[in-house]
Structure 1
Amino acid sequence: MKHNRLIYVIDDEADICTLVCDELRRFGFETRSFTNGNQAARAIRERLPDLCIVDLGLPDMDGMELVRQICAHQGIGIMILSGRDSTPDRVLGLELGADDYITKPFEPRELVARANSLLRRLSPGDTSAPDTPRQASFAGWTFNPATLTLTRQDGEPEVLSTSEARLLSSLLRAPKQILSREQLLGDHVDPFDRSIDVRMSRIRKKIEQNPKNPCIIKTIYGAGYMLAADVSWS
């Protein structure tokens, strides 16, 4: 099955790039590989990929900085592939907007499966239905899923990461309902069980007047999260 999806693999080890690219191409993906961050950054400016697989140990920059730069481009999925397996690195990667985190050594077939899952989650839904809502208004904010933008009524739009936008969309489509972490994760096999909490914290910092005492997105301890505001779609 031909995916026609473009994946950039960024790793300073050429053997890792070859291994990952060969496995992805076996399953129909188009790939390009880069052994440093500046090469990848230039390529991204020329052509946006669907997914970037990023090693953190790059020779010319910290991989976290490259993740930050990629997040500035709308709609690119980010998978970190790294030998760093500490909790602070995982948390920081997710806070910067990464969608998945895989540690080395890794199983190439699992990486492909998780890339498939990630791209499926980040793909736009079926837009053929005439009544598909375009944007949501809630608590003085407007969210546009098509552009991943969150706008206050009197402010400039702010672009969410794809993972943040997906999470917020799930809450907005079920206002005043408790959604468990499993429901919010969907079919994603998550590498780190605090990923939902980290992303929720990032969203709260954007929309809550006091993120430490949130009024819009409530934590229901032992159950999950709930959007407490009314939502209208247009």
Structure 2
Amino acid sequence: MSQPLVAILDDEPEIRNMLSDALGEAGFRTVSFGRATEFEAALRKTAPDVCLVDLGLPDRDGLTLVHRLALESGAAIIIISGRAQVQDRVTGLELGADDYIIKPFEPAEVVARVRARVRDARPAATGGASTAQFAGWTAHFDRYVLEDAEGRETSFSHAEGEVLRLFLEAPKRLINRTQMQEALGGAAGESFDRAMDVRISRLRTKLGEDPKNPKLIKTIYGAGYIFLGDVTWR
């Protein structure tokens, strides 16, 4: 199996070099870009496992780029930014980022966060299966696509896929916020909770759920969530 590929987008050469060196020593392959246009062109030819994205870019709005990546890419997205306000972190996570690291940072922290995103922490639950069938739907985690009974496809982001997979691996069992945080990583708190709410809302929409009375992903107020469908992995 090839080493995971990490794409680094930051307009500061010192940061790109520091991250490339630290990740290379940890066993990752890296590609680095100083401008969003170069980064986006490269993504048409290669598919990184993780994207490290700075928000302060010279040629694009960083948050807009993060949102596009979340919708169109299967990569995990980690924002690295000097914007330290809680609202900045919340916005980044709501737009689809998987994690948010504030500058200045220790390279070892970034390596640890990247490892958390590329490791397969739950192989026993599904035997390495990448496709799940439930309630007339098929989730293709290798392609980040939901397919309905008529064969129509709807894409989902890496972040949405992590939440969906968590539910599908534990159907008809209550999953509380602490369990979600431990399974998906990221710092517990308001920003994590808001990000989970947004991702679950988007999944419900893609599954055609009534937001006032969802049938599959149920909210148990004060306790957590429960997925009520029968699931078959293959």
TM-score normalized by the length of structure 2: 0.85
Mapped partners of 1:149, 1:124: distance in 2? 20
Deviation at 1:134, TM superposition (A): 5.3
Task: Indicate conservation of the 8 Å contact 2:176/2:225, yes or no.
Answer: yes
Q: Secondary structure at the match of 1:186?
A: helix
The letter for the 2-side match of 1:174 is A
Query: In structure 2, do the counterparts of structure 1 residues 193 and 34 end up closer, same or farther at CA, with 3 Å as the change threshold?
Result: same
Deviations 1:108-167 (A, max 9, x none): 11111111111115x8947995xx655333333222233221122246211211221121
Corresponding residue number in structure 1 for 2:54: 55
Corresponding residue number in structure 2 for 1:34: 33
Taking only the aligned residue pairs, the percentage that are identical comes to: 42
The letter for the 1-side match of 2:133 is S
Mapped partners of 1:23, 1:112: distance in 2? 7
Deviations 1:161-212 (A, max 9, x none): 1221121122122222101223233354413432322321221222243224
Q: Which moved more, 1:157-166 or 1:68-77?
A: 68-77
Identify which of 127, 135, 138 aligns with 1:139.
135
Q: Which moved more, 1:174-183 or 1:48-57?
A: 174-183
Matched residues, number = 230
Q: Which moved more, 1:66-75 or 1:93-102?
A: 66-75
Mapped partners of 1:188, 1:213: distance in 2? 26
Corresponding residue number in structure 2 for 1:219: 219
Mapped partners of 1:71, 1:193: distance in 2? 16
Mapped partners of 1:157, 1:230: distance in 2? 20
Q: Secondary structure at the match of 1:101?
A: strand
Corresponding residue number in structure 2 for 1:228: 228
Query: In structure 2, do the counterparts of structure 1 residues 155 and 89 end up closer, same or farther at CA, with 3 Å as the change threshold?
Result: farther
Q: Secondary structure at the match of 2:225?
A: strand
Query: In structure 2, do the counterparts of structure 1 residues 156 and 94 end up closer, same or farther at CA, with 3 Å as the change threshold?
Result: farther
Mapped partners of 2:210, 2:169: distance in 1? 23
State how 1:73-88 maps to structure 2 within 5 Å. Answer: 73-88=72-87
Mapped partners of 2:205, 2:222: distance in 1? 22
Corresponding residue number in structure 1 for 2:171: 175
Deviation at 1:106, TM superposition (A): 1.5
Mapped partners of 1:9, 1:134: distance in 2? 27
Task: Indicate conservation of the 8 Å contact 1:94/1:199, yes or no.
Answer: no
Mapped partners of 1:211, 1:29: distance in 2? 41
Deviation at 1:88, TM superposition (A): 3.5
Mapped partners of 2:29, 2:38: distance in 1? 18
Deviation at 1:3, TM superposition (A): 7.3
Gaps of 5+ in 1: none
The letter for the 1-side match of 2:227 is L
The letter for the 1-side match of 2:88 is D
Q: Which moved more, 1:31-40 or 1:208-217?
A: 208-217
Mapped partners of 1:128, 1:200: distance in 2? 21
The letter for the 2-side match of 1:9 is I
